Amino acid sequence: MSASFLGPAPDSDGARRLVEEDLDELGYVMNGTRLWAHHPAAMTGLFDLLGVVNEPVRLSLRERALLTVAAAATRRDSYCALAWGAKLAAVADEATAAAVLRGEDPQLDDRERALVTWARLVATDPNATTASDVEALRTAGWSEAEVLAMTVHVALRMAFSAVNDALGAAPDPALAERVPAAVRAAVDFGRPPAD
């Protein structure tokens, strides 16, 4: 199976840099990286923007993982659900990550539950959100700057996953093998891992 519906990316300094980063960090090249190697500056810019959005509020890795996992599961994106489900399992636990992927939140506090509910609303239908939904975030202790940051985070992650999904980037077999079993079992949607 190909890395995506696109053929191999042309050789470039940016593409080589993306590949080297994956090899250094993961020991293999992700299918998503192979796809984005067609336009490395776009991928780099997107992730730089995610950093810029988080800089003033400093959402924790756990909070960003909760946002991403809830949105990915809502959008039925298996690639991000597996990748970020593993990250959430590492900073929380396997049961929490699997529960959020299934749309359950039993082990979350009120603040985290509000965050996950918001991520699901934004991922489902951003035009259906209300002032009451934002007020629920305030009541749970989120500042307006944090609400904006988490909303932009979800929107940018959805944009990233929409490109991957539309262009056929399937989860990497090496990723699927490294994901905790409960997380892998909870991701029963989206594209299956590539062969």
The pLDDT score that the predictor gives to residue 56 is: 95
Angle between helices 94-101 and 78-91 (to 10 degrees): 150
The pLDDT score that the predictor gives to residue 108 is: 96
The pLDDT score that the predictor gives to residue 84 is: 98
Domain assignments of the chain as residue spans, ordered by start = 59-186
- pLDDT by residue for the chain (195 residues), tens only, comes to 467 999 999 999 999 999 999 999 999 999 999 999 999 999 999 999 999 999 999 999 999 999 999 999 999 999 999 999 999 999 999 999 999 999 998 889 999 999 999 999 999 999 999 999 999 999 999 999 999 999 999 999 999 999 999 999 999 999 999 999 999 999 999 999 987
Residue 151 phi/psi, 5-degree rounding, is: -70, -45
Paired tokens of 116:
């996950």
The pLDDT score that the predictor gives to residue 1 is: 47
Q: How far apart are CA 165 and CA 153, in angstroms?
A: 18
The pLDDT score that the predictor gives to residue 184 is: 97
| Of 96, 67, 93, 98, residue with least CA distance to 82 | 98
- DSSP for 101-137, written as a single string: HTT--TT--HHHHHHHHHHHHHHH-GGG--HHHHHHH
The CATH number of the domain covering residues in 59-186: 1.20.1290.10
Q: How far apart are CA 101 and CA 78, in angstroms?
A: 10
The pLDDT score that the predictor gives to residue 2 is: 65
Q: How far apart are CA 137 and CA 134, in angstroms?
A: 5
| Of 170, 144, 150, 138, residue with least CA distance to 34 | 170
Q: How far apart are CA 184 and CA 177, in angstroms?
A: 9
